[in-house]
A and B are shown apart, each in its own frame.
Chain A
Amino acid sequence: MTTLHGQTDAKTLPFTQEARQPFRLAALKRGWLHVVMVPLALLWLSPLVWILVTSLKTRTEVFDPAAGFLPQVLQWANYPGALSVAPFGIYLVNSVLVTGGILIAQLVTITLAAYAFARQTFPGKNLLFTLFLLQIMFPIYATFLTNFVTVRELGLLNSLPAMIVPFVASGYGTFMLRQSFRQVPTELADAARLDGCGHLGILWHVYLPLVKPTLIAFGIITVVTHWNDYMWPLLVNNSENVRTLPIGLGLLAKSDSGADWTRLMAATVVVVSPLLLLFVIFQRRFVDSFMHAGLK
């Protein structure tokens, strides 16, 4: 996974995209492919369609087998109705603070660590790098119990930092960034050193501007992951003013024991739309980030 991308960058391949057709299917055959793919894509999209349609129905329409697929009258009132049940404004602010906090903290820690691993020599380098890499194998789902005990001892329960601290160091991010740093020509750093730049100056002025695509890719993955986090925030907070959006949504589902699906789906739309909108607007960036995340 480490070598593939570095060795054969798409740009250096000696043939163009047009010339390269792995399974050159005749036009007819490709038409058949659409016959399979269109229903599949619709199948994949159907949960989203159901969320939207249900969020605009009346409660009776949801349960009435005779009611059609689409609502008779669009019930926009479901949205303010859902949002008034819980302080979603506070949840939104908390989500932004937690996700932003994790992102900034990670960018700082991985930049510093990746530079050390990419460009410096020191005893114990390989061992330490292995410790960083192994972290990928120990996600919070594997360590949540004793991490909870630690966070509790630190007196951080029911606070925003509790949701941030386990994610400050990122072995994965460090690895991704180290690979990028290593591709920066050392001549650039040497030139900067002759101009009187120290290590941190070189890092800031030479390396970081050159690895922006990697930083953005990592940033997108981190934001998607932690914006959607459920388990850890669920365990460490138990009070209204530190809840994040996913936790608020989960509570709404629990409290509505009568299964008020219309409101629940309206709240779901509100919770999922920020990321989905960003995804639609910056589709290329998102796709590229996730596409190459494993290869760089």
Chain B
Amino acid sequence: MVISTALSARIREAGLAYLLLLPSLAFLAAFTYWPILRSIWFSFHDVVLGDSKIIWLGLENYQRLLEDRLFWKAFGNTAFYTVITIPLAITCALLLAVALDSKLRGMAIYRSAFFYPVMIPSVAAGMVWVFLYSASYGPINKGLSLIGIPDTAWLYDSKWALPAIMVMSVWKYSGYFMLILLAALKLVPSDLYEAARLDGISAWNRLIHITLPLISPTLYFVIIIGLLHSYQIFDYVYVMTHGGPADATNVLTFYIYQNGFQYQDVGYASTLANVLLLFVGGLIAVIATVFGRRVHYLGR
């Protein structure tokens, strides 16, 4: 009797828990996991946007992908953007955070100055930078002409268009990473620095050997956040270059959009989407194995 009431109480508790999870689970299933499963299913088919008929293709989409030079270009651009922009923005953020952490006067003003780009919609940021980068009347060209760099249409130059977007991304996200790193720096015990300083260890070595290991969990987290934010390059490409010139800024998200929405080829676009997920997932896995094990948790 006692056992069965305990049991029914546990069942009731579990029932309530599932009920509480139901709203989240329903939406999670419909708009996160179902699309992923569906995308895998579509990648083996010929699917036309707006047409309910789908035709089995087997691995044809994947074969096509391997021979698609534009895919490789977009993949290369995505990898280039990700691998350069994230370390650059994080290094920038780390230096800013360290500078601000030394109780610099005017800290609040500096912090806002570096953080405000996060508040600006990507479309607005993209547009403004189109203006900043424009040839002849753009402020960047005006500034660079002072040091003798010739007028360049940065976003229309296939060599410079992608780096130009990367510079903008560093401006947009460094402040966010800086803020998170700043929070971590504030938790580093100062007696460690004191001891190191008394031992005559230089500021640079203190940064490398004390600060970095102690904030490594946050650094790790910031890298993941950076990786997820790098998806947003779609917005910038769409607004600033539309993939051009000559596909110099075509990245995977944009190429998926082109195939799915402009050419209505949902099957092939799904194949690309799967590759993108694998790429980002793979990067996260690499970071987790290389970095995750070395992360140093305070007191653990």
Residues of A at the B interface (CB closer than 8 Å) are 1, 3-5, 7-8, 10, 13, 15, 17, 19-25, 30, 33-34, 36-37, 40-42, 44-48, 50-51, 54, 62-65, 108-110, 112-113, 115-116, 120-123, 125, 128, 131-132, 135-139, 141-150, 152, 165-166, 168-171, 174, 199, 224, 227-228, 230-231, 234-235, 245-247, 249-250, 253, 259, 261, 264-265, 268, 271-272, 275-276, 279-280, 283, 287, 290-295
Contact for B180 among A22, A46, A253, A291, CB less than 8 A:
A291
Check A37/B203 contact, CB under 8 A, given A21-B193, A150-B31: no
A131-B28, A168-B23 known; 19 new pairs, CB 8 Å cut-off, are A1-B217, A8-B299, A21-B103, A22-B185, A23-B98, A24-B193, A30-B102, A41-B109, A47-B117, A50-B139, A112-B21, A116-B21, A137-B228, A144-B257, A145-B257, A146-B36, A169-B31, A250-B123, A268-B128
Q: Would you give the shortest CB distance from A45 to chain B, in whole angstroms? A: 5
Contact with A along B168-198 (1 / 0, CB 8 A): 0001000110011011111111110100010
Within 8 A of A (CB), among B96-122: 96, 98-99, 101-106, 108-122
A135 CA to B36 CA, complexed, in Å = 11
Q: Are the CB atoms of A287 and B111 closer together than 8 Å? A: yes
Within 8 A of A (CB), among B226-260: 228, 231-232, 234-235, 238-239, 253, 256-257, 260
Contacts of A292 in B (CB 8 A): 183
Q: Are the CB atoms of B234 and A231 closer together than 8 Å? A: yes
**CB pairs A–B below 8 angstroms (5 shown):** A1-B217, A1-B220, A20-B190, A24-B193, A36-B99
Q: Does B27 contact A (CB under 8 A)?
A: yes
Q: Are the CB atoms of A272 and B299 closer together than 8 Å? A: no
Contacts of A291 in B (CB 8 A): 179-180, 182-183
Contacts of A122 in B (CB 8 A): 13-14, 17-18
Considering the complex, give the chain A residue whose CB is closest to the CB of B11.
A122
Q: Are the CB atoms of B297 and A4 closer together than 8 Å? A: yes
Q: Are the CB atoms of B104 and A37 closer together than 8 Å? A: yes
Q: Would you give the shortest CB distance from B142 to chain A, in whole angstroms? A: 8
Contacts of B124 in A (CB 8 A): 246, 249, 268, 271-272
Q: Does B269 contact A (CB under 8 A)?
A: yes
Check A65/B102 contact, CB under 8 A, given A138-B36, A169-B32, A294-B180: no
Stretch of B55-63, B157-165, B272-280 lying at the A interface: B272-280
Stretch of B64-72, B79-87, B130-138 lying at the A interface: B130-138
Q: Does B88 contact A (CB under 8 A)?
A: no
Contacts of B108 in A (CB 8 A): 283
Q: Does B281 contact A (CB under 8 A)?
A: yes
Q: Does B298 contact A (CB under 8 A)?
A: yes
Q: Would you give the shortest CB distance from B40 to chain A, in whole angstroms? A: 9
Q: Does B286 contact A (CB under 8 A)?
A: no
Considering the complex, give the chain B residue whose CB is closest to the CB of A47.
B128
Q: Does B30 contact A (CB under 8 A)?
A: yes
Check A283/B206 contact, CB under 8 A, given A7-B299, A290-B176: no
Considering the complex, give the chain B residue whose CB is closest to the CB of A170.
B24
Q: Would you give the shortest CB distance from A143 to chain B, in whole angstroms? A: 4
Q: Are the CB atoms of A113 and B281 closer together than 8 Å? A: no
Q: Does B225 contact A (CB under 8 A)?
A: yes
Q: Are the CB atoms of B273 and A143 closer together than 8 Å? A: yes
Mostly, the B contact residues are: helix
Chain B interface, number of residues (Cβ within 8 angstroms): 115
Contacts of A199 in B (CB 8 A): 16
Residues of B at the A interface (CB closer than 8 Å) are 10, 13-14, 16-18, 20-21, 23-28, 30-36, 38-39, 42, 49-50, 96, 98-99, 101-106, 108-125, 127-129, 131-132, 134, 136-137, 139, 142, 171, 175-176, 179-180, 182-191, 193, 197, 203, 206-207, 211, 217-218, 220-222, 225, 228, 231-232, 234-235, 238-239, 253, 256-257, 260-261, 266, 269-270, 273, 276-277, 280-281, 284, 297-300
A287 CA to B261 CA, complexed, in Å = 38
Mostly, the A contact residues are: helix
Considering the complex, give the chain B residue whose CB is closest to the CB of A131.
B28
Q: Are the CB atoms of A143 and B190 closer together than 8 Å? A: no
A128 CA to B33 CA, complexed, in Å = 13
Q: Are the CB atoms of B27 and A109 closer together than 8 Å? A: yes
Contacts of B109 in A (CB 8 A): 41
Q: Are the CB atoms of B121 and A132 closer together than 8 Å? A: no
A249 CA to B238 CA, complexed, in Å = 13
Check A41/B110 contact, CB under 8 A, given A250-B239, A295-B218: yes
Check A1/B131 contact, CB under 8 A, given A283-B108, A287-B115: no
The residue in A136, A143, A283 that gathers the most chain B C-beta atoms within 10 A of its C-beta is: A143
